[in-house]
Amino acid sequence: MPVNKPKIVVLGAGYGGLMTVTRLTKQLGTNDADITLVNKHNYHYETTWLHEASAGTLHHDRCRYQIKDVINSSRVNFVQATVESIDKEAKKVVTSDGELSYDYLVVALGAVPETFGIAGLKEYAFSISNINSARQLREHIELQFATYNTEAEKRPERLTIVVGGAGFTGIEFLGELGNRVPELCKEYDIDQKDVRIICVEAAPTALPGFDPELIDYAMNYLQGKGVEFKIGTAIKECTSEGIIVGKDDDTEEIKAETVVWAAGVRGNPIVEAAGFENMRGRVKVSPDLRVPENDDVFIIGDCSLIINEEINRPYPPTAQIAMQQGETVAKNLAALVKGGSLESFKPDIKGTVASLGEHDAVGVAFGKKLQGTKASAMKKIIDNRSLFMVGGPGLVLKKGKFKFF
Amino acid sequence: MPVNKPKIVVLGAGYGGLMTVTRLTKQLGTNDADITLVNKHNYHYETTWLHEASAGTLHHDRCRYQIKDVINSSRVNFVQATVESIDKEAKKVVTSDGELSYDYLVVALGAVPETFGIAGLKEYAFSISNINSARQLREHIELQFATYNTEAEKRPERLTIVVGGAGFTGIEFLGELGNRVPELCKEYDIDQKDVRIICVEAAPTALPGFDPELIDYAMNYLQGKGVEFKIGTAIKECTSEGIIVGKDDDTEEIKAETVVWAAGVRGNPIVEAAGFENMRGRVKVSPDLRVPENDDVFIIGDCSLIINEEINRPYPPTAQIAMQQGETVAKNLAALVKGGSLESFKPDIKGTVASLGEHDAVGVAFGKKLQGTKASAMKKIIDNRSLFMVGGPGLVLKKGKFKFF
């Protein structure tokens, strides 16, 4: 019987962590290593679909699946626990369910919202971060609509939704709201003219990094659905009553019972607390995805930072990159365990498509600009592809986005 | 062409008002009278089904139907407006849409919650009064469940629901909660052990007026679904954090994000403001259902008070009595308009069944005690009967309670 099998611990069952584990069980034999996966929930969720669950256009159960359904349970020890800290010197992880020691660690703990120090956002704004926050936001919006007609004096702020950020998540959420709001108006006997959806973006453009033609298309489409844009406008403060925008003395209050912060993410604070050199929780990893000073620790996904050398700027954290990193990490761990050389990670950006609700989208795929139904179809292919990568055709059939009739 | 047709104005399209109007168009010819129906909404709702809409076990659209679908629009002038006041001397009604003068008035404005002066109930407690309040309550409860897992420190009061009153409405609502709570727990990944449902009743018994055997059955059934009863316990105050029960210094606070007041109703305040002699908004009407001092005004339903002479106490305000009153008023109006003698109203109490959720109930029908599935079946017959009375078999098919398979 083999002794002293190396212990591989993977933290997080998001896109990166889950891909690492599913590929690892294919790369390594039973006797090569002990593999442990730690995750807060017993399910994986599709982070890139949460804007739909948050708006209420797709049920949250459609955005998640049981981890046990996609991992090989005879090969992977799954621990449902919250990671509390990493002790890289002692090579230990402290979880809510006890300590785990490791020989190799994969940190794939994902992102948390970045509020840039704006007062009140943490207290009063909703976020599109996980299943819990998504369904809370969905229900919060619905309660505002349900309450509107119970009040003798109508309060327009009940029907005012502010979305902070016109980046990828903000735009996709607005697209879903465009479809959801008419449903809510019908459900609660509300005239849609009484509803306001306001998107506030501090940057000089929506969808930074997108082609101007696609940005125009997206904004026109959303304006047609009733969205008002305030581009180049900073949120100064979020309060229990709404937001304050503007600069210095030239400020304006927008009363809104619903403020959604969708303007940015940062790496997990556990990465910072562990003492890895980082920028906002993201660690600039070596080409083989290890921490430069800790060659037993891989960091991938939203907690990793890799540079796009063509433009000398970091790649944005995406599911696409996290999954590709997971594949590389699995290969590199196999090389460390069984011998061999580690490969360098090179992202293969197949495309980026932002949906504008169920039937429209904008983006680039395989080098081609897309908008309208073609982009929407491509978006669904991308969504289904991530299911396929982790769970094969069975998972696509179970959770995929398509209609049979 | 006939001139000076008498003007009949009916206020409210609840059970009583709608029955009056539908019967009146059969009793009177086109040239006999002008008939006007005034109602706040363009729909009628089944007040006796609202506990289901409030719990979320039956969609609110199943509990309402369009008024135009059940009245003869060529015969009845429907005015969607809120009644603001009645001037019985000038024989006028002031509505949000202008004034209406009448020769004969039927007041069927229904009930409002009676809070008996308990502090905080109006501000903080929910009620099961109408479509708006029902769906607000449904969404409020759902948001508490949706929020529970988003909070790092779990707050048990999010999952604590206090129902004030173990009378008919309170018990029926508890029955629905018994079915709804397991669904909510599944939807939001909550252990049902974390949920508390507490029913507080000041009277010495639940379901006053019911047979003790049936009361036992109902309480045991609900306790089995997780309901805690505090019978003979008065709510002293309702606050933003829950309720305070007890007397003088011997008080206890029960923290709860949801407090539902289901312990009583009173007549509409418009009846009081109009100067009719009344007790809590209910007018003790003559046998022919007119106001003793105003023989051009009929008052029916929850705003009327009639005495059960067998026990020398008022009949409780029920849909059953309101509908029977509507039939009598239609006949008596026809007699006033065309000549003839007015008949005296005599309630024909066919039974009283309180549901305990979809599959159980307790009550008495045609003099026989019922519990379990038989009572539940009888309850559905009663519910369907009120649809039949107003809208015939078509309405039963459209909105009735039955399963085809």
Query: A336: how many CB neighbours lie within 10 A of its CB?
Result: 20
Same domain, B148 and B208: yes
Q: What is the residue range of B33's domain? A: 7-40+81-113+265-340
Average pLDDT of the residues in B382-403: 88
pLDDT at A405 over 70: no
Comparing CB atoms, the residue among A133, A143, A188 nearest residue B140 is A143
- Confidence label for A3 from pLDDT (cuts 50, 70 and 90): low
- How close, in Å, is residue A189 to chain B by CA atoms? 9
A182 lies in some domain: yes
Q: Say whether pLDDT at B328 is over 60.
A: yes
B143 CB neighbours in chain A (<8 A) are: 136, 139-140, 142-143
> Which among B132, B143, B149 is the nearest to A140, CB-wise?
B143
Total residues belonging to chain A? 405
Cα gap B105→B86, rounded to integer Å = 10
The answer to whether A299 touches A111, Cβ cutoff 8 Å, is no
Q: Which of residues 104-133 of B touch A (CB under 8 A)?
A: 132-133
In chain A, residues with a C-beta closer than 8 Å to the C-beta of B140 are 143, 146
Residue B3 pLDDT: 62
For A146, the closest chain B residue by CA position comes to B136
The pLDDT of residue A403 is 65
Looking at the fold, whether A89 and A153 belong to one and the same domain comes out as no
Q: Are residues B230 and B159 in the same domain?
A: yes
Q: What is the pLDDT of residue B73?
A: 94
Residue A192 resides in a domain: yes
Which residues in chain A are contacts of B187 at CB distance < 8 A? 135
Q: Are strands B34-39 and B76-80 parallel, antiparallel or unpaired?
A: parallel
Cross-chain residue pair B135–A146, CB shorter than 8 Å: yes
Domain stops at, among B280, B306, B340? B340
B149 touches chain A (CB under 8 A): yes
pLDDT tens digit string along A249-277?
Answer: 889 999 999 999 999 899 999 999 999 99
- Which two tokens mark B221? 């059934």
Mean pLDDT across A160-189: 97
Q: Is residue B220, in this structure, part of any structural domain at all?
A: yes
Assess B154–A contact: CB distance below 8 Å, yes or no: no
Q: Are residues A255 and A374 in the same domain?
A: yes
Residue B403 reports pLDDT greater than 70: no
Q: Is residue A14 within 8 Å of residue A112, measured between CB atoms?
A: no
Which chain A residues have a beta carbon less than 8 Å from that of B133?
Answer: 150
Query: Does B355 map to a domain?
Result: no
From A289, A306, A340, give the residue that closes a domain: A340
Residue B314 neighbours by CB under 8 Å, 6+ apart: B282, B305, B306, B307, B308
Same domain, A313 and A199: no
B188 touches chain A (CB under 8 A): yes
User: Phi/psi of residue B98, each to 5°?
Assistant: 115, -175
CB contact under 8 A, B135 and A143: no
**Measured between CB atoms, does A146 come within 8 Å of chain B?**
yes
Signed CA dihedral, A240, A242, A245, A249: sign only: negative
| Cβ within 8 Å of A, B 12-71 | none
Does A315 lie in the same domain as A213? no
**B225 and B96: one domain?**
no
Residue A316 DSSP class: P
Quick: pLDDT tens for A71-110: 999 999 999 999 999 999 999 999 999 999 999 999 999 9
Out of A46, A172, A176, A201, which one is annotated catalytic? A172
**A404, pLDDT greater than 70:** no
Residue ending a domain, choose from B239, B261, B283: B261
Tell whether A249 and A397 lie within a shared domain: yes
Mean pLDDT of B59-73: 95
Within 10 angstroms of residue B342's Cβ, the number of other Cβ atoms is 19
The CATH number of the domain holding residue B327 is 3.50.50.60
Of A278-287, A392-401, B26-35, B50-59, the range with the lowest mean pLDDT is A392-401
CA distance B328 to B381: 23
Q: What is the pLDDT of residues B179-238, one digit of tens each?
A: 999 999 999 999 999 999 999 999 999 999 899 999 999 999 999 999 999 999 999 999
For position A217, which CATH number holds? 3.50.50.100
Residue B127 and residue B223 in one domain: yes
Q: Is it the case that residue A397 has pLDDT exceeding 70?
A: yes
- The pair of structure tokens assigned to B385 is 């009967």
Structure tokens at A230: 């305030």
pLDDT digits (tens, 9 = 90+) for A14-25: 999 999 999 999
Question: Both tokens of residue B256?
Answer: 């709860």
Q: Is the Cβ of B84 closer than 8 Å to some Cβ of chain A? A: no
Looking at the structure, do residues B309 and B225 belong to the same domain, yes or no? no
The single residue listed with the structure tokens 């048990």 is B156
Chain-centroid distance, C-alpha B60: 14
Mean pLDDT for chain B overall = 95
The pLDDT of residue B241: 97
Q: With respect to residue A48, please indicate whether it lies within any of the assigned structural domains.
A: no
Q: Check if B136 contacts A (Cβ < 8 Å).
A: yes
State whether A146 and B133 contact (CB < 8 Å).
no
Helix (H) or strand (E) holding A160: strand A160-164
* Residue A249, pLDDT score: 80
A57 is a domain residue: no
Q: In this structure, are A252 and A313 located in the same domain?
A: no
**pLDDT of B17 higher than 60:** yes
Size of interface A-B (CB pairs under 8 A): 39
The interface predicted TM-score of the complex, written ipTM, equals: 0.89
Q: Are strands B313-314 and B307-308 parallel, antiparallel or unpaired?
A: antiparallel
CA-wise closest residue to B266 among B48, B113, B107, B108: B113
Measured between beta carbons, which residues in chain B are less than 8 angstroms from residue A140? 143, 146
β strands within B300-384, DSSP E: 304-305, 307-308, 313-314, 351-355, 361-365, 368-371
Any idea which of A386-400, B136-150, B299-313 has the lowest mean pLDDT? A386-400
Q: How far is A144 from chain B (nearest CA, A)?
A: 9
Residue A52 belongs to some domain of the structure: no
Are both A172 and A285 inside the same structural domain?
no
What per-residue confidence (pLDDT) applies to B195? 98
How far apart are alpha carbons A298 and B135 in whole angstroms?
A: 50
* pLDDT higher than 60, residue A2: no
Residue B371 counted as domain residue? no
SS3 B49: helix
Residue pointed to by tokens 């509390």: A84
The answer to whether A87 contacts chain B (CB < 8 Å) is no
Q: Does residue B1 surpass a pLDDT of 60?
A: no
d(CA B148, CA A212): 42
Q: How remote is the C-alpha of A88 from its chain's centroid?
A: 26
Contacts of A224 (CB under 8 A, 6+ apart): none
In chain B, the number of structural domains is 2
pLDDT digits over A124-172, tens only?
Answer: 999 999 999 999 999 999 999 999 999 999 999 999 999 999 999 999 9
- Give the residue from chain B lying closest to A134, CA to CA: B146
Q: Please return the burial class of B193, using the count of CB atoms within 10 Å of its CB with bins 0-12, 13-18 and 19+.
A: exposed
